[in-house]
């Protein structure tokens, strides 16, 4: 358990956390402002990845594929909003859950029909595909640093948007009390569409950025969706700051847990059981964390309003 390994693992945790933040940000916005549980947020992440693969195959250029994928994801997201979701805002949470679960089923299977069940992949752009020497003997893939950088960048942009712009002001107000916003005479429907479209793009962006590292396959959004929910619940629903901090927290706890759980257990038990118990505990860690946070703070770390 050397210091340099700890450093690298922290970086890995950061990268995972940033990815979770990109997905959770949209989820917490949609949930916070519209009081809408969108389980289909995960398939929008998956769709981003698939679209990028498709556009890359057509154009051969990562950047162009990225832009096209985001645009296509946005169009698709708005279409979904128009056809289905906007009829669900006034419904109770359970109905939202079941309807968006139906969308997940449909899109997971649809993707399989269109692109096949086999995993696909997206290459890293040539100039960013190498590794750099972080410290003697420790190489680190440039692309992972790019993910960290772009995630932090998006976080900064979001912060500026939310704190400095009129739409951002409305979003904050909406997360605190939606009735006030509509009382201000704002076209709530348009605000919702903007927020929803934005959330969709963020999820798709996460999908595109991670596609070169992970295999692009049907159902890739399901696990991430649950983690994103863990993040926004720990952070406090509707809180962008909460989502950011919780995402990094989850990323670090999960990564560091996986790396060091066994080593730590070996201190107190023989190596063989430690090896099997360790991964189980590591998998559980984030859920334990969530349960603890909610036990002491039943509305998350940064509660936005008393729900």
Partner 1 sequence: MVKVLMTSVAAVALLIGQAQAQEKLKIGVVTTLSGPAAVLGQQLRNGLQLAIKNSDGKLGGREVQLIVEDDELKPDVAVSKAKALIDRDKVDFVVGPIFSNILVAIMKPVTDGGAILISPNAGTSNFAGKDCNANFFVTSYQNDQNHEVMGKYAQDAGMKKVFIMAPNYPAGKDSLAGFKRFFKGELADEVYVPLGQLDYSAELSKIAAASPDAVFVFLPGGMGVNFVKQFRQAGLADKVKFLSAFTVDESTLPAQKEAALGFFGGANWAPNLDNPQNKKFVADYEKEYNAVPATYAFQSYDAALLIDGALKATKGNTADKDALRAAMMKAPFTSLRGAFKFNTNHYPIQDFYQVKVAARADGKFQTEIDKKVFANYADPYAKDCPMK
Partner 2 sequence: MTDTTLIAPQRKPHALELAPVFIFLVLALAPVAAAFGPETYLLGLFTRVMVFAIAALALDFICGYGGLVSFGHAAFVGIGAYSVGILSAHGVTDILISLPVALAASAIFAYLTGTVCLRTKSVYFIMITLAFGQMVYFVAGSLAPYGGDDGMTLQVRSTLLGFQPFKNDRVFYYAVLLFLLAAYLACRAIVASRFGRVFRGAKENPVRMATIGYDVFKYQRIAYVIAGMIGGLAGFLLANVVEFVSPAYMSWQRSGELIIMVLFGGIGTLYGAIVGAAAFLLLEDGLGSITENWKLIFGPMLVLIVLFARGGVVGLIERLTGRAGRG
**Rule CB under 8 A: which residues touch partner 1?**
2, 4-5, 8-9, 12, 15-16, 112, 116-121, 124, 129-131, 137-141, 143-144, 212-220, 223, 255-256, 258-259, 262, 275-276, 278-280, 282-283
Whole-number Å distance between alpha carbons of 184 and 195: 18
Among 64, 180, 184, 280, interactor with partner 2 by CB under 8 A? 280
Tell me the per-residue interface mask from 34 to 73 with partner 2, x by CB under 8 A, - otherwise: ---x------------------------------------
Residue 152 belongs to what H/E stretch? helix 142-164
Q: Taking CB under 8 A as the rule, does residue 78 contact partner 2?
A: no
Whole-number Å distance between alpha carbons of 43 and 220: 8
Compare residues 75 and 105 and give the one whose CB is closer to partner 2.
Answer: 105
Q: Taking CB under 8 A as the rule, does residue 94 contact partner 2?
A: yes
Q: Taking CB under 8 A as the rule, does residue 287 contact partner 2?
A: yes
Min CB(122)–partner 1 separation in Å: 10
Min CB(87)–partner 2 separation in Å: 6
Reference 305, options 165, 176, 179; nearest CA is: 176
Whole-number Å distance between alpha carbons of 215 and 118: 9
Among 71, 186, 299, 305, interactor with partner 2 by CB under 8 A? 299
Reference 91, options 174, 35, 138; nearest CA is: 35
Check if the beta carbon of residue 107 is closer than 8 Å to that of residue 42. no
Q: Taking CB under 8 A as the rule, does residue 291 contact partner 2?
A: yes
Check if the beta carbon of residue 25 is closer than 8 Å to that of residue 157. no
- Structure-derived torsion over alpha carbons of residues 22, 77, 207, 95, reported in degrees to the nearest 10: 70
- Residue 15 binding target from partner 2, partner 1, none, CB below 5 to 8 Å by type: partner 1
H-assigned helices in 60-132: 62-83, 93-115
Whole-number Å distance between alpha carbons of 168 and 162: 4
Q: Quick one: which segment of 15-23, 54-62, 181-189, 285-293 binds partner 2 (CB under 8 A)?
A: 285-293
Two tokens at 154?
Answer: 């998006």
Check if the beta carbon of residue 213 is closer than 8 Å to that of residue 16. no
* Site of interaction with partner 2 (CB under 8 A): 31, 37, 84, 87-88, 91, 93-99, 101-110, 112-113, 222, 226, 229-230, 233, 237, 276-277, 279-280, 283-284, 287-288, 290-291, 294-295, 298-300, 307
């Amino acid at each position: 358990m050397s210091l340099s390994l700890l450093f690298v693992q922290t970086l890995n945790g950061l990268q995972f956390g940033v990815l979770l933040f990109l997905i959770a940000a949209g989820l917490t916005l949609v949930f916070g402002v519209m009081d809408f549980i969108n389980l289909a947020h995960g398939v929008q992440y998956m769709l981003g990845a698939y679209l990028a693969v498709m556009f890359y195959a057509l154009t051969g250029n990562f950047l162009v594929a990225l832009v096209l994928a985001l645009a296509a994801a946005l169009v698709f997201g708005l279409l979904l909003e128009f056809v289905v979701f906007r009829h669900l805002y006034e419904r109770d949470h359970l109905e939202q859950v079941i309807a968006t679960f139906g969308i997940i089923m449909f899109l997971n299977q649809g993707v399989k029909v269109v692109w096949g069940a086999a995993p696909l992949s997206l290459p890293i752009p040539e100039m960013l595909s190498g590794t750099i020497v972080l410290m003697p003997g420790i190489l680190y893939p440039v692309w992972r640093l790019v993910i960290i950088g772009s995630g932090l960048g998006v976080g900064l942009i979001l912060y500026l948007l939310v704190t400095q712009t009129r739409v951002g002001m409305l979003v904050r107000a909406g997360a605190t009390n939606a009735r006030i916003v509509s009382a201000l005479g704002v076209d709530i429907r348009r605000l919702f569409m903007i927020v929803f479209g934005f959330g969709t793009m963020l999820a798709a962006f996460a999908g595109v950025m991670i596609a070169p590292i992970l295999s692009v396959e049907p159902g890739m959004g399901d696990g991430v969706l649950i983690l994103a929910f863990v993040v926004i619940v720990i952070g406090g629903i509707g809180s962008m700051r909460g989502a950011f901090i919780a995402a990094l927290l989850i990323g670090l706890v999960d990564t560091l847990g996986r790396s060091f759980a066994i080593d730590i257990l070996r201190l107190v038990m023989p190596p063989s059981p430690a090896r099997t118990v360790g991964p189980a505990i590591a998998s559980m860690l984030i859920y334990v964390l969530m349960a603890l946070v909610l036990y002491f703070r039943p509305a998350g770390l940064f509660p936005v309003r008393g729900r």
